[in-house]
A and B are shown apart, each in its own frame.
Chain A
Amino acid sequence: MCGIIGFLDKKTDGTSPVGNTVLTMLNALACRGPDSAGVALYTGLTNGHTVLRVKLGENGEFAGRRESITERVENLGEILSASTTEEYLRLELDYQGEPKELSALIESEADTVEVVSMGSALEIVKQVGSPENLEETHGVSRITGTHGIGHTRLSTESKVDLSHSQPFWAHGMPDLAVVHNGHITNYHKLRMLYEQHGVRFYTDNDSEVIGVYLADRLSQGMSLQEALTASLDDLDGSFSYLAATRNELGFAKDRFALKPLLFTETDETVVVATEEIAIENAFPGIGGVREAQAKEVQVWRLN
């Protein structure tokens, strides 16, 4: 049992209070997942800079890594800003190269270093604990933008730490992020297949494979709608998941409709959540809420 939420402001100029909205929704689902909480927010920036959030390590063992990583990165692109909050290093770069090359360079620093998110608009912040902790540590509610997704986790199979928390950035595919409620039962098979093609998995969390799968499909030229639809046949198990790109928000629900997911849409907004209590918390009385049907896929694009 996990809680997932999504929000897209259809008419925003990029200054919608997405952080606050997503957090308000997520707080209502804290009881569905006390292990960890996280958000993927899209800031709507169009300056073409690359924004990275890097996990420097676990358990406070990251002294000196910030300096060492920034030195490495400077060789690839100009660092426009760098800041550290707890175990996160946030970098804004002028970088036009291959995302995989940049993350491989950063992650070669140490095994526990991970690029948690990369993109022109995407910012992922996640950590062990409740959504309230997320706000206290990272001030998520101050982030503005266009859309966002969030997750509260009740771990069932893999360990509880920052990397195993959600949202998952689809490593290598800028701005693609996923949150998932359910179990992917053909995870090991898919993982083996992707590993044979050289894909690195960062966790033992089955949800991670969804991002890898979508990145693979999108890189083959599929649209997000097509990739989500294809996933209904290619992923086994129970799932309701949300996927977001720089300008889209979408969801897919498994063929047996085993996991809850509700949504509503108005002229201004799209809101999606595991339980309506999250929608009510942020948009009281919005109305028109409907549970997604089995095999249902929806994608919304920013105007």
Chain B
Amino acid sequence: MAAELDCTGKSIREINTGIKEHIANGEKEVLVRNPGARHNLGVALLQPSTVTFDGSVGYFCGGLMDGATVEINGSTGWGLAESMLSGTVIVHGSAGNGAAATIRGGTVVIHKHAAARAGVAMKGGLLLIGGNCGYMAGFMGQRGTIVVCGDVGEAFADSMYETVCYVGGKVEDLGNDAVIEEVGAEDIAFLEATIAEHLPDRLAELKPRLADFKKIESGRRLWNFDKTDWDVWQQVV
């Protein structure tokens, strides 16, 4: 039985303090009712616990988190799970701009769609998007993995380092220095295991298509300046 907290009439600080008090008192699960799409909820959760928001949340939910699980039964605003160190964030609806930006670890699962700049500057972790994602996802990704089951927007995977991306749908436009690689047996096994774990309802539909996923990585032409590659650099700068 989860501990419950109702946001009605409470300030953001009272809600976040309330969540942390429940966790400090040893509660493993906290159910937060009526979040009302308000901002900065469930930020900096540092102990293992599961916090469920029974509705949509606003900006920066699950940000600066280390080790907790946050589940959102709705949509989210900008900056979902921003700079998370570890943990899991699950969104049953869609996420706004900059989901999982600069995460260093952990897992972010978005069942529906992500808006622009999903997974920019990731330094680790996994971002899994069940639907489509918008403009410039994966920009300057350093490490970690992005899996998009649907279509991706313009400038996908621009100027990346070592983030690995998989796309199940259409790639409208690749970003600078992004290249499509062959999908091997290991990639397919990874995708199957990832989808089976985080989006089990989608596995039957996606499994026959896994070999058609596109694997996108950095072409590494922007890692070091080379004057003979001037055409590439000219385009970037």
Chain A positions near chain B (C-beta within 8 angstroms): 255-257, 260, 262, 275-277, 279-281, 284-285, 287-295
Contact B58 A294 (CB under 8 A): no
B67 is an interface residue with CB less than 8 A from chain A: no
**Within the assembled complex, what's the spacing in Å between the Cα atoms of A284 and B56?**
10
Name the distance in Å between B42's Cβ and chain A's nearest Cβ: 16
Contact A279 B37 (CB under 8 A): yes
Residues 109-135 of chain B, each 1 if its beta carbon lies under 8 Å from chain A, else 0? 000110111000000000000001011
Known: A260-B97, A277-B58. A293 touches B153 (CB 8 A): yes
Contact B36 A280 (CB under 8 A): yes
Contact B115 A276 (CB under 8 A): no
Query: B36-80: which residues lie under 8 A (CB-CB) from chain A?
Result: 36-39, 55-56, 58, 74-75, 77-78
Contact A289 B97 (CB under 8 A): no
Question: Which residue in chain B gives the minimum CB-CB distance to A274?
Answer: B77
Q: How many A-B pairs with Cβ below 8 Å?
A: 76
Chain A residues lying within 8 Å of B154, measured Cβ to Cβ, are: 255, 294
Contact A275 B94 (CB under 8 A): no
Chain B residues lying within 8 Å of A256, measured Cβ to Cβ, are: 116, 135
Contact B97 A276 (CB under 8 A): no
Chain B residues lying within 8 Å of A292, measured Cβ to Cβ, are: 115
Contact A284 B36 (CB under 8 A): yes
Chain B positions near chain A (C-beta within 8 angstroms): 34, 36-39, 55-56, 58, 74-75, 77-78, 93-97, 112-113, 115-117, 132, 134-135, 153-154
Known: A276-B56, A277-B37. A294 touches B134 (CB 8 A): yes
Interface centre among B38, B39, B135, B153, by most chain A C-beta atoms within 10 angstroms, is B135
Chain A residues lying within 8 Å of B115, measured Cβ to Cβ, are: 257, 290-293
Contact B55 A291 (CB under 8 A): no
Chain B residues lying within 8 Å of A276, measured Cβ to Cβ, are: 37, 56, 58, 75, 77
Known: A280-B56, A293-B135, A294-B116. A287 touches B77 (CB 8 A): no
Name the distance in Å between B92's Cβ and chain A's nearest Cβ: 9
Question: Which residue in chain A gives the minimum CB-CB distance to B134?
Answer: A293
Known: A289-B94, A290-B94. 7 other contacts (CB 8 A): A256-B135, A276-B56, A276-B58, A280-B55, A290-B75, A290-B113, A291-B113
Contact A291 B94 (CB under 8 A): yes
**Within the assembled complex, what's the spacing in Å between the Cα atoms of A281 and B153?**
31
Contact A294 B153 (CB under 8 A): yes
Question: Which residue in chain B gives the minimum CB-CB distance to A293?
Answer: B134
Chain A residues lying within 8 Å of B113, measured Cβ to Cβ, are: 290-291
Name the distance in Å between B158's Cβ and chain A's nearest Cβ: 12
Question: Which residue in chain A gives the minimum CB-CB distance to B92?
Answer: A287
Name the distance in Å between A181's Cβ and chain B's nearest Cβ: 13
Contact B97 A277 (CB under 8 A): no
**Within the assembled complex, what's the spacing in Å between the Cα atoms of A291 and B91?**
14
